[in-house]
Amino acid sequence: MIPVTESTDPALVELDAWSPARILEALWEGQLAAVRAVGPALAALEHAADAAVPLLAAGGRLVYVGAGTSGRIGVQDGAELNPTFNWPAEQLVLMMAGGEAALLNAVENAEDRAEQARSEIAAHRIETGDVMIGIAASGATPYTLAAVESARAAGALTIAIANSPGSALLEAAAYPVLLDTGPEPIAGSTRLKAGTAQKVALNLLSTLLMVRLGRVYRGQMVDMQARNEKLRRRALRMVCMLGECSGAAAAAALAATGGQVKPALLVLRGLSAEAADRALIESGGSLRLALK
């Protein structure tokens, strides 16, 4: 049986003969349906996060693995965690079938290389305490499936995100997340509905993980790295708002903490920069707990 993502939607078989306006409307409706498909998976995402948070808090790595569109979506989600939440580079592994070259160009047969995936799991020393997210629309991609199976055998916590019910990837992972997006408007083109649903689900999951790990406070990305002028202005605004202080006081606190928002807010409460760092370590990185 072919994956549902490879099947044809009977309502759209004449799509290429339609007017541009009608084609766009059909594609747009498919995108809306893709977002709705994430709703039934919220509980599964929550359960996966519940299991992952203590492992990541203890120093475990977050590993993304995929091929083609799914792999690129996973890499994008993972790559944004460091600048947005200051997620440590040493706690992030991005596995893409075909390597970095496949991010911009299709690499022939890369997704079929199951043995390559197993070798990469061994090379990265994926083990107990690590958290892997495997993404595949069909749920049958050999590279992704082999990576998840090998990681689970090595003791890692495994999460699978797939768009085909009953697929092998969902069965292989400890925490399966089904995004039942059905047939694509163009059969097999999973950059459409499946890809959109995967992007939404990964956004939700990774953001929930970062919130639970204390990297968000009062709706602000307080662990953000202020690497350019725009972000330095944002850090100043955050400290002014959250610390209820003047710009001059916020600037002084940020200067004392190397531009870091969380310790700067504790400095405003009267702590030294060193004491602020210690308070955050003792609170597990939670600004809310440290402020108490």
Which active-site residues does the annotation give? Answer: 80, 111
CB neighbours of 179 closer than 8 A, spacing ≥ 6? Answer: 34, 37, 38, 41, 161, 162, 163, 194, 197, 198, 201
Q: Is 281 helix (H, G, I), strand (E, B) or coil?
A: helix
Q: What whole-number distance in Å separates Cα of residue 109 and Cα of residue 129?
A: 31
Of 84, 192, 166, 92, the C-alpha closest to 133 is 92
DSSP readout, 66-100?
E-HHHHHHHHHHHHTHHHHH---GGGEEEEETT-G
Q: What whole-number distance in Å separates Cα of residue 79 and Cα of residue 100?
A: 13
Of 192, 163, 187, the C-alpha closest to 10 is 187
- 190 forms bridges with which residues in the sheet? none
7-27 in b/e form (b: 16+ CB < 10 A) is: eebeebeeeeeeeeeeeeeee
Asked if 30 and 190 count as a contact pair (C-beta separation under 8 A), the reply is: no
Sheet containing 62-66, strands listed edge to edge, beginning at the edge strand earlier in sequence: 92-96, 62-66, 131-136, 157-162, 175-178
Alpha carbon distances (Å) from 29 to 47, 73, 182, 189 = 29, 21, 13, 16
